[in-house]
Amino acid sequence: MGTYDVAVFGAYGHTGRFVVEELRERGFGVLAVGRDEAKLRALPWPDLEIRQGSVDDPASLDRAFEGADAVINAAGPFADTAAPVIEAALRAGVPYLDVAAELEANMDTFARFGDKAAGATVIPAMAFFGGLGDLMVTAALGDWTSADEAHIAYGLSSWHPTEGTRAAGKVSRDRRNGKRIRFSGGRIEHRDDALPESDWDFPAPLGTRAVLGEFSMADVVTVPSHLAIPEVVTYMTTNAAREVVTPETPAPPADGPSAQTFVVDVVVRSGGEERRVVAQGQDIYAITAPLVVEAVQRVLDGRTKATGVVSAGEVFDAADFLAALAPRVTVTA
């Protein structure tokens, strides 16, 4: 550790700052990359190497990523940034990871770069949504080669969205023409009916909470990308689902983790058997940083099981990866 330089595209964004801080704490060199040079210079690390780069200017990305050992894309909307940054990382011959929670952007990455990235490493959704759930489902599956269904329930104490979350949500809604997405029968479906409402029995101390079912997050892309599970359903506590779409909900604090807490409850069923894995922690944006930085460390160290466009559960030892997140994420089975 300490011998790698990682370029962070979108370093001055809310999640990008957490990623930069995590990299620095682990001894990585950081190349802070973004469109706005003034915002890069305003970052609170005076010794940080900054490089201006824009997705509208491929040559600028090539210059920005020169000398990097890996690229982390933390700049949304990823529908706009993922493809050009992946292309630049492939030209540079270095691994690419992003923290995209946008379903459409993740689907685009698998579809567009599945063949193009053969032999390279491209890991989309290496974040709280998409990455963590995929690791948990993979760990829960264990020695099973398939399952009938996987359920991922998100118990958030609150959800104060960042500007990036709001922008990404608008892009997704526009691309879906107002419809919602679910994964059922082994395929993505677009529907215009209301989300089903129910209760979910979270582990103590959270307990039973009202949830919206089929509140589809990036897990419905990452999990089916490598696991034979025809039904993948994600749930969100109703209070958080309402907050994230309410215009008056304030943004999270600009500096440091928020007081938000989360419980992610994964249940995998096959026949009459059921397996469960639970993760608990604080601040879904802040916790993305150790997830993606642990991932980039493992990629650079060669602790991977696959190449190409791959999700977290496919490319890493899921149980070992989850254990490495302690104490910031507590995982129990």
**Whole-number Cα distances in Å, 57 to 54, 61, 80:** 5, 7, 13
Q: Which two tokens stand for residue 260?
A: 């938000």
Strands 149-156 and 231-237: parallel
Angle CA 132–116–303, to nearest 5: 40
Cα radius of gyration rounded to whole Å, the chain: 19
Q: Residue 49 forms beta bridges with which residues? A: 31
Q: For residues 174-184, b (16+ Cβ closer than 10 Å) or e, as one string?
A: eeeeeebbbbe
* DSSP structure class, residue 225: T
- Beta-carbon neighbour count of residue 223 at 10 Å? 29
Q: Which two tokens stand for residue 136?
A: 């948990």
* DSSP structure class, residue 255: S
Residue 183: phi and psi, rounded to 5, are -115, 115
Q: What percent of the chain has pLDDT over 70?
A: 99
Cα gap 146→111, rounded to integer Å:
23
Residue with tokens 């930085």: 293
Average pLDDT, the chain: 96
Strands 121-123 and 329-332: unpaired
Tens of pLDDT, residue by residue over 296-327, are 999 999 999 999 999 999 999 999 999 999 99
pLDDT score for 211: 98
Cα gap 1→3, rounded to integer Å:
6
* DSSP structure class, residue 228: B
**pLDDT of 2 strictly over 80:** no
Q: Can you point out the beta strands (E) in 83-196? A: 96-98, 121-123, 149-156, 180-184, 187-191
pLDDT score for 148: 98
Cα gap 61→35, rounded to integer Å:
10
Same fold yes or no, 5-128+287-332 and 131-283: no
Question: pLDDT band at 3, cuts 50/70/90?
Answer: confident
Q: Which two tokens stand for residue 48?
A: 């940080």
Cα gap 237→210, rounded to integer Å:
6
Tens of pLDDT, residue by residue over 45-86, are 999 999 999 999 999 999 999 999 999 999 999 999 999 999
Where do the domains of the chain lie?
Answer: 5-128+287-332, 131-283
**pLDDT of 31 strictly over 50:** yes
Tens of pLDDT, residue by residue over 79-137, are 999 999 999 999 999 999 999 999 999 999 999 999 999 999 999 999 999 999 999 99
3-state secondary structure 134-149: HHHHHHHHCCCCECCE
Global confidence as pTM: 0.97
Cα gap 130→280, rounded to integer Å:
16
The correct CATH number of 131-283 out of 3.10.129.10, 3.40.50.11540, 3.30.360.10, 3.90.330.10 is: 3.30.360.10
302 backbone φψ class: left, alpha, beta (φ>0; ψ -120 to 50): left
**What 3-state class would DSSP assign to 167?**
helix
Domain 5-128+287-332 has CATH 3.40.80.10: no
